[in-house]
């Protein structure tokens, strides 16, 4: 039975529900544990925890980082990260700024294509959240350039479409390193969306991942069992979540995918052991000079 949804977005990135609303909805659904995993942002964790305390839910602090290899992009989830860590907050602030710069580049491309849209239109959708393509898609709907959210991706901002711009590039290994240095565990998110085959999944997993998101709404039912067996064979932690972005934003509903309590405890135990051996030093910058300031 799904009692835990370990992949959720809020208004702190490209979700349309505030952390408070997410927690209230999760509670109403009877979920016991949720992970808040905004893109490049952890600001939503505090509000979620505050609400969860009142409602008797557990909130696992998380984040979703985008990474790239030659063949394409892979999303890496960090779970149980130390969300109050100033070092981590610094790093995420950098990524957030990079996202805003990339948003501006996308808007410029749209303008060159003749679309009447400004960065102000985008920022009025994103608010304080780290800017993502879903904000731009919604802004495109608002200014009347497209008929729907999906059409914005199909015509303009989807991969290989004319206004697509990549984000700041880090590798899966570097994403994993940041997560580990912030006290968390690294999970390869929705591998069946990103990877072409098992070999590619293994390659990314070997770049320092602790676990893999087996259960995700976009994973085809008949491929899930195979992925689960692959994870068990390799001793990878198994996670799952809905990748909820709010009701208006494409993916299925909160709690639709996830794991049971026994899996949550396995993940927690793994993290507890990792934590015992981890030493937080002031040398965390070493090896991270790919982050230009
Ligand atoms: P970004 O991180 O800014 O590149 O935006 C990626 C996010 O856009 C994903 O997490 C999804 O929420 C959303 N997204 C990506 N591709 C599509 C698509 N084809 N249709 C709808 N939403 C999409
Ligand atoms: Fe997203
Ligand atoms: Fe993702
Ligand atoms: Zn996500």
Q: Residue 109's pLDDT band (boundaries 50, 70, 90)?
A: very high
Distance CA 21, CA 246 (A): 10
- Asked if residue 22 has pLDDT above 60, the reply is yes
Burial of 75 (0-12, 13-18, 19+ CB in 10 A): buried
Distance from the alpha carbon of residue 15 to the mean position of ligand 2, in angstroms? 7
What percent of the chain has a predicted confidence (pLDDT) above 70?
95
pLDDT tens digit sequence for 233-281: 999 999 999 999 998 777 789 999 999 999 999 999 999 998 877 666 5
Scanning the chain, the segments in alpha helix (DSSP H) are 19-28, 44-55, 86-112, 119-126, 133-142, 149-152, 172-181, 191-194, 198-205, 221-234, 261-277
- Asked if residue 93 has pLDDT above 70, the reply is yes
Distance from the alpha carbon of residue 37 to the mean position of ligand 4, in angstroms? 7
Is 150's C-beta closer than 6 angstroms to any atom of ligand 1? yes
pLDDT of residue 292: 59
Q: Taking Cα atoms as reference points, which of 41, 73, 284 lies closest to residue 177?
A: 284
Distance CA 161, CA 176 (A): 29
pLDDT tens digit sequence for 50-83: 999 999 999 999 999 999 999 899 999 999 999 9
Distance CA 73, CA 125 (A): 25
Distance from the alpha carbon of residue 233 to the mean position of ligand 1, in angstroms? 31
pLDDT of residue 275: 81
By most ligand atoms within 8 Å of CB, the mutation choice from 98, 250, 252 for ligand 1 is 250
Q: Taking Cα atoms as reference points, which of 206, 212, 222 lies closest to residue 263?
A: 212
- Asked if residue 282 has pLDDT above 60, the reply is no
- What integer is the mean pLDDT of 159-177? 95
Q: Are 287 and 175 in contact (CB under 8 A)?
A: no
Q: How many CA atoms lie within 13 A of 277 on its CB side?
A: 7
Q: Are 65 and 79 in contact (CB under 8 A)?
A: no
Residues 6+ apart with CB under 8 A from 120: none
Higher pLDDT residue, 292 or 231?
Answer: 231
Supply the residue whose CA is at minimum distance from atom 14 of ligand 1: 134
Distance from the alpha carbon of residue 293 to the mean position of ligand 1, in angstroms? 26
Distance from the alpha carbon of residue 282 to the mean position of ligand 2, in angstroms? 32
Which DSSP letter does residue 104 get? H
- Asked if residue 196 has pLDDT above 60, the reply is yes
Q: Are 278 and 183 in contact (CB under 8 A)?
A: yes
Is 75's C-beta closer than 6 angstroms to any atom of ligand 1? no
pLDDT of residue 71: 85
pLDDT of residue 280: 60
pLDDT of residue 281: 58
Give the nearest ligand 1 atom to 131 CA.
Answer: 3
Q: Are 206 and 96 in contact (CB under 8 A)?
A: no
Is 134's C-beta closer than 6 angstroms to any atom of ligand 1? yes
Ramachandran angles phi, psi of 282, nearest 5°? -85, 10
Is 7's C-beta closer than 6 angstroms to any atom of ligand 1? no
CA dihedral sign of residues 257, 262, 268, 269: negative
**Mean pLDDT of all residues in the chain?**
94
Grouping H, G, I as helix, E, B as strand and the rest as coil, residue 140 is helix
pLDDT of residue 290: 62
Distance CA 149, CA 27 (A): 28
């Amino acid at each position: 039975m799904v009692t835990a949804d370990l992949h959720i977005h809020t208004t702190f990135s490209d979700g349309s529900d505030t952390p408070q609303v997410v927690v209230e909805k999760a509670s109403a659904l009877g979920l016991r544990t949720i992970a808040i995993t905004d893109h490049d942002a952890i600001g939503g964790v505090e509000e979620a925890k505050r609400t969860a305390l009142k409602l008797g839910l557990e909130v696992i602090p998380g984040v979703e980082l985008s990474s790239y290899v030659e063949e394409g992009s892979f999303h890496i989830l960090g779970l149980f990260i130390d969300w109050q860590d100033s070092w981590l907050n610094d790093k995420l602030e950098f990524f957030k700024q990079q996202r805003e710069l990339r948003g501006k580049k996308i808007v410029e491309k749209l303008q060159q294509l003749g679309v009447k849209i400004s960065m102000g239109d985008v920022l009025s959708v994103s608010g304080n959240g780290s800017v993502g393509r879903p904000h731009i898609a919604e802004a495109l709907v608002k200014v009347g350039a497209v008929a729907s959210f999906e059409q914005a991706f199909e015509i303009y901002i989807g991969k290989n479409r004319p206004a697509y711009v990549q984000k700041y590039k880090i590798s899966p290994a570097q994403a994993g390193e940041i997560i580990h240095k912030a006290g968390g565990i690294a999970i390869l998110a929705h591998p069946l969306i990103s990877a072409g085959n098992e070999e590619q999944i293994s390659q990314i997993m070997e770049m320092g991942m602790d676990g893999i998101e087996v259960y995700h709404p976009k994973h085809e039912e008949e491929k899930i069992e195979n992925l689960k067996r692959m994870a068990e064979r390799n001793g990878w932690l198994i996670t799952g979540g809905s990748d909820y972005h709010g009701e208006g934003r494409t993916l299925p509903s909160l709690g639709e995918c996830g794991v049971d309590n026994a899996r949550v405890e396995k993940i927690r135990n793994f993290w507890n052991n990792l934590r015992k051996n981890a030493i937080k030093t002031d040398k965390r910058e070493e090896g991270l000079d790919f982050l230009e300031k």
